[in-house]
Structure 1
Amino acid sequence: MENKHLEAARLIQEGKIEEAATLLNELIEENPNDALAYVNFGHLLSIIGDKERAIIFYNRAIEFDSKLATAYYGAGNTFFDQEKYEEAIEKFKAAIHYGLDEADVYFMLGLCYYNLRLLPYALANLQTATEKNPNDIESLFQYGLTLAQLEQVDEAVRVFEQVVTKKEDHADAYYNLGVAYAFKEDAQKAINMFDKALKIQPDHLLAGNGKKQLEALLSEK
């Protein structure tokens, strides 16, 4: 049974959706109470864009195993994709409660709170995500954005600098460093950061506009 679950997960990962669906149907026919089969079917449905049915399958999995953390996590991701952030938060919290105490869950919780503009909650969860996985560039970047939104500018600069140290071609991190230095009224350093963003991504409109505005201000002095 376990081998079939692993095989189904591998087929989904490889994009062999029909083969995976056939195998999962077999698993459910063999054992209609197989919670993990419903979770994997939920993953499959979510991947192909059938979000509503995916939620039904995750909920069915939870009916059979109310402590199955991956079912809550899958449902949380699907609600997030639908921009149903309150529902997603509820599921991610349940996933953590039932043992999925991993960086990805805290990252997704942080994004939910960020999208709801509940920034202190976003900050706390994104900080936890970065502590649990310091090498996750996206968590680090989102943590920096949240710090910047809360006007904790010096901390945001420190985090964005970590991002570009780990990923030298992160144009958006350089852009946000530029915004931070402009906020700190260090126009030349801000322009340097915008230049770095534009060198990586010449069509970075925000960096281009930021640079033009600061150069205009400097020329007036």
Structure 2
Amino acid sequence: MDKMSKAIEEMQKQNFEEAARLFTDAIDENPKEPVGYINFGNLLLHMNDYDRALRFFNRAISLDSKAATAYYGAGNVYYEQEKFTKAQEQFLLAVENGLDEANVHFMLGMTFFHQEYMKLALPYLLRAAELAPEDVDVQFQYGLCLAQNGQIEETERVLNHVLHLEKDHSDACYNLGVVALHKEKPDAAIAYFDKALEIQPDHMLAAHAKKQVEEALNNDKS
């Protein structure tokens, strides 16, 4: 096993100091190879050392301007610092340079989502959902974005898929309750809110929504 592979293995085992030593050795042996800088950047990102991580990603880009994963790494640095516009720029460069994986489309979508540009977020989250149909987080965020764009039927379908993947997903249950309210099905909504609270008893949104629906139903009866 070469030093780069060994370093990645040590990183996966959370042996960060040993990983850093091996990455350094690998870079010293091949200083013109961008992969070493990208991997070391990922390690530094994992350790929340954002400034140094960015320097390593930029070094990789200076060696290979088409190094898509270096742009992706730089985007993650900016994303973690909530610099969403800068993150978008880097993620888009990653895509333009050939990275077509669920993660980069998901992260791009989330940068728009956090800035409440829901229409701009939707196509990227859709692409991520297509590439990662079994990823609970991707599917859930795609469902939320659909809801924000008023696509209620599709929201319901996607959130039901989330529950198929993870039956005890309290937030999916809560949001299906909200969908039921949009469809004027208060009893179904209460059932979903109850399920969310069964899974997560301190789910404040579900508790509040359930109380409001029950009060509205009681007022209609009186």
TM-score with structure 1 length normalisation?
0.96
SS at match of 2:196: helix
Cα deviation, 1:112-137, whole Å, max 9, x if unaligned, reads 11012111121111111111121111
2:212 is aligned with 1:213: yes
Q: CA deviation at 1:183?
A: 2.2
1:134/1:140 contact within 8 Å kept = yes
SS at match of 1:106: helix
Work out the percentage of aligned pairs sharing the same amino acid. 48
AA aligned to 1:5 is M
- What is the rounded CA distance, in whole Å, between the counterparts of 2:120 and 2:81 in structure 1? 21
- What is the rounded CA distance, in whole Å, between the counterparts of 2:23 and 2:103 in structure 1? 26
Q: CA RMSD in A?
A: 1.2
Q: CA deviation at 1:185?
A: 2.0
- What is the rounded CA distance, in whole Å, between the counterparts of 1:131 and 1:11 in structure 2? 32
Residue equivalent to 2:182:
183
SS at match of 2:82: coil
- What is the rounded CA distance, in whole Å, between the counterparts of 1:142 and 1:176 in structure 2? 11
- What is the rounded CA distance, in whole Å, between the counterparts of 1:168 and 1:195 in structure 2? 14
1:18-167 alignment, distance < 5 Å: 18-167=17-166
Q: Unaligned 5+ residue runs, structure 1? A: none
- What is the rounded CA distance, in whole Å, between the counterparts of 1:168 and 1:15 in structure 2? 30
- What is the rounded CA distance, in whole Å, between the counterparts of 1:210 and 1:74 in structure 2? 39
Cα deviation, 1:133-164, whole Å, max 9, x if unaligned, reads 21111111111101111122222111111111
Residue equivalent to 2:191:
192
AA aligned to 1:11 is E
- Paired positions, count: 220
- What is the rounded CA distance, in whole Å, between the counterparts of 1:128 and 1:95 in structure 2? 15
Cα deviation, 1:144-198, whole Å, max 9, x if unaligned, reads 1011111222221111111112210110000001111112221111001101111
Residue equivalent to 2:2:
3
TM-score with structure 2 length normalisation?
0.95
